[in-house]
Amino acid sequence: MFEPDGTPEPDPAELERIYRRAPVGALTVAGIATGLVFALWLAFYLIVFLPRGFLS
């Protein structure tokens, strides 16, 4: 219900062109986001977990 009224159907050729180069942007954004998530994990591991000692 959110789409603006009368969104025109995209031109198939234009859509295909966008589709073919699309993942570049998604790869960048998803890559940065995922990288940050794993970086947070690594930061926790190094800064919080390791100095607090080990259980065995």
Partner 1 sequence: MIKARGLILAHFWTAFVLFFAALWLGEWQMLIRSPLHAWISIPEHYYRSVTAHGTVMAYVFPLLVAMGFGYAISELSLKQPLIGIRWAWAAYALVAAGALMAAGAVASGAASVLYTFYPPLIGSPFYYIGVVLVVVGSWMWVALMAVNLHRWRKTNPGKIVPLPMYANVAGAYLWAWTAVGAALEILLQILPVALGFKTTIDAGLARVLFSWTLHAIVYFWLMPAYIAFYVIVPRAIGGRLYSDVMARLSFALFLVFAMPIGIHHLFADPQVGSGFKYVHSVFTGMVVIPTLLTVFTICASVEIAARLRGGKGILGWVRALPWRNPAMLGLAFSFVMLGFGGAGGLINMSYQLDSTVHNTQWITGHFHLIFAGAVVIMYFVLAYDLWPHLTGRPLGQLDLIRAQLWLWLIGMLVMTIPWHLAGLLGMPRRMAYFDYSNPAIAPQAWTVTAAVIGGAMLVGSGALFIFILFRSYFGPRLSLSEYRFSAPVHVTAVPKALNGFAVWVALMIALTIANYGVPIAQLMFAKTNVPAVFYFNR
Partner 2 sequence: MNAATPDAGGAEADVAERRWAMVSTGLVVALLGVIAFTGLHWASMPLSAIEPIDPTTLHISGEFVEQNLGAQLRPDGSVIVRLIAQQYAFNPQCIEIPVNTKITFRGTSADVVHGFLVTGTNANAMLVPGYITTFSTQFSHLGDHLMPCHEYCGTGHAAMWAHVRVVPSKEFERNILGNEGGHCD
What is the rounded distance in angstroms from the CA atom of residue 41 to the CA atom of residue 47? 10
Per DSSP, the residues of 3-55 read: SPTTPPPPPHHHHHHHHHHTHHHHHHHHHHHHHHHHHHHHHIIIIIIGGG---
Applying the rule CB under 8 A, the residues between 4 and 33 that interact with partner 1 are 4, 7, 10, 14-16, 18-19, 22-30, 33
List 5, 25, 33, 54, residue binding partner 2 (CB under 8 A): 54
Q: Which residues are near partner 1 by CB under 8 A?
A: 1-4, 7, 10, 14-16, 18-19, 22-30, 33-34, 36-38, 40-41, 44-45, 48-49, 52, 54-55
